[in-house]
Amino acid sequence: MTRSSKKRLNTILIEIVLITVSFIFIMPIILAITMSLQPPESVFSFPPKFFPTAFHWKNYVDAFNTVPFARLILNSAIIAVMITGGKIITGTLAGYAFANFKFRGRSFAFSFLFATLFLPAETIMILPLFNLMNKLGWVNTYWAMTIPFMASATNTFLFRQHFMSIPSSLEDSARIDGAGPMTYFIKILLPLSKAIIGGATIINFVYSWNMYLWPLIITMEDKMKTVQIGVRMLISAESANNWGIIMAGTMIAVLPTLLLFFTLQDLFVRSLVRSGIKE
């Protein structure tokens, strides 16, 4: 077999695998869109429908009528933006400290931060955290849903790895030019990190948009709830039987992150990790 024919064979094989896998991966979402546009009587049709045959927009109207989605989307967006911003700020600062400075207690501080990965707030920590929120008077506020999540080990590591990959000669010459550590950080380091900050923004945004258990517990009024809870309200075991409406709600919750992802995917692939995570 010649090299080029072998290469062609490889390409065909790859195409087959990729078509199959990507089909399987996107299918649930396409089906959700299909379902969300079905009138109630054909949701249970057999054989099941794979592509939309009707455009029953009423499901979306009903979803909006059952749950105040407009307000919930706004809340989710506010929360996601606040958390993302907070994480980027704390993460770049701390990453800078770990990457560019040698200081007493560095490895301890690093382990101390790393261990938080294993202490997710979603578990039993919810109760003490709730009591703390109450002492601070934050129950049912945006603060409760954002500030506790504004620092994370993952973001710090991401930025640390990236900053370490930037040649130290840059820092040295900046210092010779008389720039202080903060000047170097703002004028040189951050501009060099645009891509990774972009990637981290998407990851953090999706993470906070999808938060579930904590908003469920800490919100007391509809006007503070998030989109994810809106979907849960739709599904709420004892009322809804109309899968069309549930799927419409699901699409409402998923669409913002999905669109963000589709439009920014190039930035994402190019940026993230490109220079990160290598020691």
Partner 1 sequence: MKKLFVVFLLLALVATLSLAKVKIQFWHAMGGWRIDFLAQQAEKFNATHPDIEVQVQYTGSYRDTLNKLIVSVQAGAAPHVVQVFDVGTQIMVDGGIAVPVGDLMANDPTFDLGKFLPQVLSYYRVNGKLYSMPFNSSNAILYYNKTIFKEAGLDPDKPPRTFEEFKEAARTITKYYQGNVVGFGFNLHSWFFEQLMAAQSAPMCDNNNGRTGRPTKAVFNNEAGLKIFEWLNDMKKEGTMIETKVEDWTGARNLFISQKAAMLLSSTSDVALMMNASKENGFEFGTAFLPTPADAPAGGAVIGGGSLWIIGGHPDKEIQAAWEFVKFMADTEQQIEWHKATGYFPVRKDAVEQLLFSGYYAQYPDHLTALMQLMLSEQNYNARGAIIGAYPEIRTAVEQNLEKMFGGELTPAEALKRAEEAATRAIKEYNEVY
Partner 2 sequence: MLPLLHAGGVSMRKLYPYLLLIPTFVIIIMFIYYPAGSALKLSLYKTSPFGNRTIYVGLRNFRQLFEDPEYLYAVRFTLIYVSVSVAITIFMSFIIAYMLTRGVPGTRIYRTFLFAPYAVSPAIAGTLWTFLLNPVVGHVNYFFAKLFGIQVAWLTSKPYAFYALIFATVWKMLPFDMIFYIASIQDVSLDIIEASTLDGANTMTRVWRIIFPLVSPITFYLVIMNIVTTMFSSFAIVDVMTSGGPGGYTTNMIYKLYLDAFTFQKRGPAAAESMIMFAIMLVVTIIYFSFAERKVHYQ
Residue 26's region, left for phi above 0, alpha for psi from -120 to 50, else beta, is alpha
Contact residue for partner 1 among 121, 125, 139, 260 (CB under 8 A): 139
Q: Which is nearer to partner 2, 14 or 70 (CB)?
A: 14
Residue 273's region, left for phi above 0, alpha for psi from -120 to 50, else beta, is left
Positions 118 through 137 that interact with partner 1 (CB under 8 A): 126-127, 130-131, 133-134
Q: Which does 238 bind (CB under 5 to 8 A by kind): partner 1, partner 2, none?
A: partner 1
Contact residue for partner 1 among 238, 262, 266, 279 (CB under 8 A): 238
Tokens of 24: 């399987």
Contact residue for partner 2 among 2, 5, 41, 46 (CB under 8 A): 46
66 binds partner 1 (CB under 8 A): yes
Contact residue for partner 2 among 212, 223, 236, 239 (CB under 8 A): 212
CA distances from 41 to 38, 58, 246, 251 (A): 8, 13, 15, 20
Q: Which of 62, 80, 102 is nearest to 252 (CA)?
A: 62
CA dist., res. 6 & res. 130, Å (int): 62
In the DSSP assignment, the letter for residue 238 is T
Q: Which is nearer to partner 1, 121 or 188 (CB)?
A: 121
11 binds partner 2 (CB under 8 A): yes
Q: Interacting stretch for partner 1, rule CB under 8 A, among 2-10, 21-29, 220-228, 258-266?
A: 220-228
- The DSSP line for 179-198 is --HHHIIIIIIHHHTHHHHH
Q: Which does 37 bind (CB under 5 to 8 A by kind): partner 2, partner 1, none?
A: none
Q: Which does 274 bind (CB under 5 to 8 A by kind): partner 2, partner 1, none?
A: partner 2
CA dist., res. 210 & res. 230, Å (int): 12
**Omega of the bond leading into 256 within 30 degrees of 0 (cis):** no
CA dist., res. 201 & res. 81, Å (int): 9
70 binds partner 1 (CB under 8 A): no
User: Which parts of this chain interact with partner 1 (CB under 8 A)?
Assistant: 40-41, 44, 66, 126-127, 130-131, 133-134, 139, 216-217, 220-222, 229, 232-241, 243
